[in-house]
């Protein structure tokens, strides 16, 4: 039941004003993946889609694995902002950028091991593995910039500067799409063109955004006299950030494992099934990033209210943002149901691939309805910096996925997608049941 209608500070309009820039800009994130797949889908061999798809899976692991850089930064920044602790807000940005640069550089040095591991863990045909290795060896050079951009986005969300976050994502992702079309369709660079577009877009986006934030440094109260080495490297602050980072990293590894298992099940039945499952995940990316607009608004608002100790308004934020996410999921499901063929024709021109994906389209239409609660609860718990519950919830969801796949293993892709439905539902339900923890452990 919703809370009593006596406390009206966080209206639906307030939540929507924070949500719509994120929703609009988030659509550009899976759009990049969709364009990558579409560029390869219009080439002659499904192996191009499979190679880029598995390469994207590797980078999804890396970006998801380092997702704590955004989620942790958002949660801690929102709470520090709510507390009025401006030096800590500044220090959080610096710590995050330092950590992102170090991690990105280390991964460039270690990327031969990454390529070797991916080839061993992700079984596919020789042609698919060759394209995957080529893709990874080029795109790896984007990582220091990409991880730094993740930090910047998290910090902007924590500051409730969603429109600047929208600017960042538009610069990077629309630039990526434009370069993608130029390199693949115009210059016929194939897999190399797709990877190179990502490298240039990430570095250009980082430089532009740092400059824009510098111009607005007084608006964000980023002035040099607030900084000191003691504040930036305060041990308790680092320890709290790294504790949350550990839990979120473990959670993300399990999230990636589910996606890897889905593609692994599909790859065992052939390149066509693998390409079809990749299209499913691309569409799911649109769903996830679209619905995440309300989750990101909840992150910023929940963290801010916890910093202010305003639990009454926090309950309103949770209820109203979740209700808005539900209504949006119904609309998305309806769009997917009625627009099946136009969507497929945009992603591929291969008749066999269209037929294979149509056969499993019913699962895609269900995805918004079964996933919105998981995304929304993630945002709420990120804002509360309660990473332990998110980790435990993912353990529960992973067990549900494996159990469901075992129980429903009556068909190849149907069994995997049925298990995926159970997994998404389990994520949301677990965290929803654990919501009272946010009010009792503060």
**Helix, strand, or coil here: 308?**
helix
> Which candidate, 248, 92, 66, 238, places its Cα nearest to that of 158?
92
pLDDT confidence of residue 380 = 92
Query: Residue 384: exposed, middle, or buried by beta-carbon count in 10 A (0-12, 13-18, 19+)?
Result: buried
Q: In this structure, is residue 399 part of a structural domain?
A: yes
| Contact call for residues 152 and 213 (beta carbons, < 8 A) | yes
- Band the pLDDT of 228: cuts 50, 70, 90: low
Q: In this structure, is residue 330 part of a structural domain?
A: yes
pLDDT, the chain, mean: 81
Q: Cα separation of 76 and 245, whole Å?
A: 11
Q: Cα separation of 162 and 17, whole Å?
A: 9
Q: Cα separation of 351 and 398, whole Å?
A: 34
Identify the residue whose tokens are 């079984």: 123
- Per-residue pLDDT of 94-122, as tens digits, reads 888 988 999 999 999 988 888 787 777 76
Q: In this structure, is residue 6 part of a structural domain?
A: no
Q: In this structure, is residue 380 part of a structural domain?
A: yes
- Per-residue pLDDT of 192-211, as tens digits, reads 888 888 899 999 999 999 99
Length of the chain: 442
Q: In this structure, is residue 197 part of a structural domain?
A: yes
Which region among 162-171, 216-225, 236-245, 342-351 has the lowest average model confidence (pLDDT)?
Answer: 216-225
Question: What is the dihedral sign for C-alpha 162, 164, 167, 173?
Answer: negative
DSSP state of 186: I
Q: Cα separation of 377 and 162, whole Å?
A: 19
CA end-to-end distance (rounded Å), the chain: 23
Question: What is the dihedral sign for C-alpha 83, 85, 86, 90?
Answer: negative
**Helix, strand, or coil here: 345?**
helix
Q: Cα separation of 48 and 129, whole Å?
A: 10
Q: In this structure, is residue 1 part of a structural domain?
A: no
| Contact call for residues 266 and 413 (beta carbons, < 8 A) | yes
- Band the pLDDT of 8: cuts 50, 70, 90: very low
Q: In this structure, is residue 51 part of a structural domain?
A: yes
The count of structural domains within the chain is 1
- Per-residue pLDDT of 31-68, as tens digits, reads 666 676 666 665 556 666 777 777 777 887 787 778 78
Q: Count of CB atoms within 10 A of residue 69's CB?
A: 29
pLDDT confidence of residue 368 = 94
In the predicted model, is pLDDT for residue 364 greater than 60? yes
- What are the structure tokens assigned to 42, written together? 């219009």
Long-range CB contacts (within 8 A, 24+) of 309-317: 309/442, 311/439, 311/442, 312/3, 312/7, 313/7, 313/9, 313/10, 314/438, 314/439, 315/3, 316/3, 316/7, 316/8, 316/9, 316/10, 317/10, 317/15
Domain extent at residue 217: 12-440
Q: In this structure, is residue 3 part of a structural domain?
A: no
pLDDT confidence of residue 423 = 94
């Amino acid at each position: 039941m919703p809370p009593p209608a006596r406390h009206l500070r966080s209206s639906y309009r307030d939540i929507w004003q924070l949500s719509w820039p994120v929703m609009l800009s988030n659509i550009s994130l899976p759009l990049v993946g969709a364009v990558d797949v579409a560029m390869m889908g219009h080439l002659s061999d499904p192996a191009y889609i499979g190679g880029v798809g598995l390469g994207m899976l590797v980078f999804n692991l890396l970006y998801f694995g380092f997702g704590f850089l955004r989620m942790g930064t958002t949660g801690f920044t929102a709470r520090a902002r709510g507390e009025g602790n401006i030096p800590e807000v500044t220090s959080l940005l610096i710590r995050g950028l330092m950590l992102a640069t170090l991690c990105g550089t280390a991964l460039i040095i270690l990327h031969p091991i990454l390529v070797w591991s991916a080839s061993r863990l992700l079984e596919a045909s020789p042609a698919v593995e060759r394209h995957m290795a080529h893709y990874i060896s080029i795109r790896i050079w984007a990582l220091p910039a990409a991880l730094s951009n993740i930090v910047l986005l998290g910090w902007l969300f924590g500051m409730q500067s969603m429109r600047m976050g929208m600017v960042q994502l538009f610069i990077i992702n629309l630039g990526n799409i434009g370069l993608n079309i130029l390199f693949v369709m115009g210059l016929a660079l194939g897999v190399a063109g797709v990877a190179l577009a990502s490298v240039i877009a990430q570095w250009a986006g980082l430089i532009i955004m740092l400059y824009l934030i510098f111009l607005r440094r007084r608006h964000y109260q980023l002035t040099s006299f607030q900084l000191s080495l003691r504040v930036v490297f305060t041990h308790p602050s680092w320890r709290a950030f790294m504790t949350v980072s550990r839990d979120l990293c473990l959670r993300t590894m399990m999230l990636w494992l589910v996606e890897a298992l889905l593609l692994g099940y599909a790859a065992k039945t052939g390149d066509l099934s693998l390409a079809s499952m990749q299209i499913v995940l691309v569409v799911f990316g649109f769903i996830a990033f679209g619905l995440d607009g309300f989750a990101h608004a909840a992150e910023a608002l929940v963290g801010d209210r916890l910093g202010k100790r305003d639990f009454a308004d926090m309950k309103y934020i949770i209820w109203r943002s979740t209700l808005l996410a539900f209504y949006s999921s119904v609309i998305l499901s309806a769009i997917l149901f009625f627009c099946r063929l136009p969507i497929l024709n945009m992603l591929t021109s291969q008749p066999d691939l269209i037929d294979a994906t149509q056969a499993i389209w019913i699962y895609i239409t269900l995805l918004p309805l079964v996933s919105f609660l998981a995304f929304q609860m993630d945002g709420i718990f990120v804002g509360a910096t309660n990473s332990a519950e998110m980790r435990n919830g993912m353990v529960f969801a992973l067990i549900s996925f494996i159990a469901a796949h075992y129980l429903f293993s009556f068909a190849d892709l149907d069994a995997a997608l049925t298990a995926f439905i159970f997994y998404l539902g389990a994520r949301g339900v677990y965290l929803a049941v654990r919501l009272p923890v946010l009010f009792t452990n503060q």
